[in-house]
Every structure is written in C-alpha cells, then in structure tokens.
Structure 1
Amino acid sequence: MRKNNYSPALALVFSLFFIWAISSNLLPTMIRQLMKTFDLNAFQASFTETAYWLAYFVFPIPIAMFMKRYSYKAGIVVGLTIAAFGALLFLPAALFKSYWLYLIIFLL
C-alpha cells in the first residue's frame, strides 16, 4: 500500500498564507504612502483600507462554490491569477497617479 505524500501541497498552502499575511500586515504602511503620493484625505485612505477588507466579506461564498465545483487547486490558481492581474494593473494607476483608478484596481 502506497502512502500519499502531501508535504509539497502543505508547504505551498502554508507559504501562501504566510505571503497573504505579509500583504495584510503591510497595508497600514502602504496606506500612509498612498496618502502622501495621491494627496488623500482621511476618508479616502480609510475607504482604501475598507475596500481591501471588504473582499474578505464578499468573496468567500463565491470562491467556496467555485472550489466545490472544480477543486481546491483550481481555487488557489484562480486566486493567484487574480492577484497577479491586480498587481499588473497597479502600474497604470501608479503612472497616472490617479486615486480612483488605483481604487478600482484595488477592488479586484
């Protein structure tokens, strides 16, 4: 009888949670820098942070339905693809220094 080796999959999941935790811990620093770069007031800065945390409220059920239909692996791949796409879309917002363009991208 052959045992399944889940160590690589567990290492990947643990590292992804670690990376996502780093991004959430860097959020306050990023908000302060955005306030300087885009000349944001306190409302706009708090709205940006709210948009970040709103995704944790809005997306769990659709993602759970997606993972139930396909697989956990597909869910992780889709999540990483969306994150990469959002990171690439940050470039135009940074070049144009447009808060609203940045906020739309941040909601992705």
Structure 2
Amino acid sequence: MALIQCPSCNKRISDKAKTCSHCDFVLAGRSSEDLQREQARAVQRRKDKLLSQSMLALLIAIAAFAYTFLEQPHPDAWQAQVSYGLIVVGLVWFVINRVRIVFLKRGR
C-alpha cells in the first residue's frame, strides 16, 4: 500500500482508497486524464484564492494609506498608529501572497 496525492485537495491518501477521506473526491473509476484535469483545476483554485487574498491585502494597504494621506492624523494618535500598522500588514501580506503564487507556478 502506497501513499499518493489526492488530485483535488493535494493531501496524502492510500492508493487503494476509492474516495479521498479529506475532500470526498471519488477516485474509483476515473481515468488518468480525469485525474490530471482535476489536479489542474485544484491548482487553478489555489491560484485564484491566492490572487483574491493578494488583492484584499493590497486594498487594505491602499485604504490605510489613503486615510493617512487625507486625514493626516497626529503621528502620536492611535489612528495614525493603526493606519501605519495596516499599511505594513497589507504590504507584507501582499508580498507573501505574491511569493506563494510564484512558488505555485514553479511547482508545475
């Protein structure tokens, strides 16, 4: 009995299993072409999810920057500290997601 990767969720399952115990993907009766197609769909879903998270992170950073630029709170005020923190968190989250997308593309 060997462990293989589920084409849908990419988790390790038994090669004797008829369905994936993690995502309930049916493996029995599928051709290798169907399994490859499902694996390509799973990669595309992960890429879309990362792109959505990346855009959300960028939106947070831009909104915080716009608030800081337009309102110009005093640097010691809590509003300024929160907006600076959101800018940093949004940009770091954006960069991390972009790196994850690059690794996902290279993983093919």
For the superposition of Structure 1 and Structure 2, which TM-score range results when normalised by the shorter chain?
A: 0.3 to 0.5
Give the TM-score normalised by structure 1: 0.35
> Relative to total residues, which structure has the larger helix share, 1 or 2?
1
Structure of larger gyration radius: 2
Give the TM-score normalised by structure 2: 0.35
Q: Which structure's relative contact order is higher, taking Cα pairs within 8 Å and 6+ residues apart?
A: 1
> Relative to total residues, which structure has the larger strand share, 1 or 2?
2
